[in-house]
Amino acid sequence: MIIDDLTKEFKEEYGQNPRLIVSSPGRLDFLNTHQDYKGLPVVSIGVNLRSYTAIAERADDYCYVLSVNLKRERVEYKDVFKLTELELRSGKWFGNYLRAAVKSLIEQGYKVKGFNAAILSEVPIGGGLGSSAAFTVSFLGALNEIFSLNLSRKEIAEVAYHAEHDIMGIPCGRLDQYGSVFGGVIKIETRPPYNVEELP
C-alpha cells in the first residue's frame, strides 16, 4: 500500500515516523483545455491517482525533502534548503516546486518552520493529469495541517498557483491547482473572485 511504502521510506530517511500524511488527486480537464489561460470557466474532474506527502516538524529552520519516485529512478532525489534561503535551482529540479510553495506562504505572512518531508506520487508526469499541481497541493496541505496555518481550500489553491505561476514563472491557469485541491467534479470561474461550484 502506498501509505505503508511512504511511511517506510520516511522512517528509513529520518529515523522517525511522519506526524501526518496528506494526499491530493490529479485531475482531468473536461473539454476545456487551456480555457483557464483565457479567463474562461473550466470543469475539472478529480482522478483516482494521488500525490502523497508525509511530514514531521524539525527544531531548526532547515527543510529536508525526499522524492520517493526519483529515488526509485536512481537519480538525485533529495533537496535541502533553509527557510531564509529559498532560491530556486537551475533546471527542472523537483525541489523548486516546494521552495516556491514555502516562499509563497512566507511572502503572504504565514509562519512556517523547519520540517522533514517525503513525497510519493501516483500521478504520471507529463500525462496531462496535473502532476505538478497534485505534488504541490499535497505538500501545501501537509504544511497547512502540521503548522496550523488554517488555510481554506481556495487559499491553498491560490498559494499553489502563485508559487508555480509567479515565483517559478511557469505559464499556467488555475485549473490544475483548484482541481487538485477540491477534487471531484467542479466548475471553476477563472476570473476574480475565482468561484468554485461543486457539480453532482
Q: Which residues does residue 185 pair with via DSSP β-bridges, in sequence order? A: 45
Do 63 and 117 form a contact (C-beta atoms < 8 A)? Answer: yes
Is 176 part of the annotated catalytic residue set? yes
Cell of 153: 481550500
> What contacts 68, CB < 8 A, 6 or more positions away?
5, 6, 9, 77, 118, 119, 120
Cell matching residue 151: 488555510
Q: Which of 33, 29, 43 is nearest to 199 (CA)?
A: 43
Longest dimension (CA), the chain: 48
- Residue 60, SS3 per DSSP: coil
Catalytic residue among 29, 36, 79, 176: 176
Grid cell in block for residue 9: 521510506
* Residues with a known catalytic role: 176
